[in-house]
């Protein structure tokens, strides 16, 4: 069954922890993003997550990771909330969130906060 999920990233699918292929980059841990509360969350490379992207299953859940002010500031440097449709998803217990298949999930909307 297909579901909607939410993720902060750029249009290519690059995120703050993982790139658009589900490969760990750790960009959120650089000085550029040290102002984000979530920059302290460690999500190192996990073999089981290759080709999967971390997502929230609702906007309310996403706001638990990034508050509104942080998202608005991220938009200024090209990071937006993207809505994905996926039928290949799973709950990843170690990090307590959902992941979606990077190869089969489709971006259906870019959400801009004001």
- Token pair listed for 82: 């993207």
What is the share, in percent, of the chain residues with pLDDT greater than 90?
66
- Whether this prediction's pTM lies above 0.85 is answered by yes
pLDDT band at residue 10 under the 50/70/90 scheme: very high
Phi, psi of 38 (to 5 degrees): -70, -5
Q: How far apart are CA 25 and CA 103, in angstroms?
A: 18
pLDDT band at residue 45 under the 50/70/90 scheme: low
pLDDT for 44 beyond 70: no
pLDDT at 74: 97
pLDDT for 81 beyond 80: yes
Average pLDDT (73-81) is 97
> What is residue 69's three-state secondary structure?
helix
pLDDT at 12: 84
Whether the CB-CB separation of 101 and 107 falls below 8 Å is answered with no
- Token pair listed for 64: 């638990």
- Token pair listed for 79: 């990071």
Q: What is the DSSP string of 7-34?
A: EEE-TT---SSB-TTS-B--GGGSGGGT
Average pLDDT (14-42) is 86
- Token pair listed for 59: 């906007």
């Amino acid at each position: 069954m297909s579901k909607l999920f939410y993720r902060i990233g750029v249009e290519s699918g690059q995120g703050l922890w993982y790139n658009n292929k589900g490969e760990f980059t750790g960009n959120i841990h650089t000085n550029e993003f040290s102002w984000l509360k979530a920059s302290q969350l460690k999500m190192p490379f996990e073999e089981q997550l290759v080709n999967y992207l971390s997502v929230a299953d609702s906007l309310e859940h996403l706001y638990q990771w990034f508050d509104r002010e942080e998202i608005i500031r991220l938009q200024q440097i090209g990071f937006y909330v993207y809505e994905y449709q996926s039928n290949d998803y799973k709950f990843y217990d170690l990090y307590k969130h959902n992941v979606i298949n990077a190869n089969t999930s489709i971006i259906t909307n870019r959400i801009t906060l004001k």
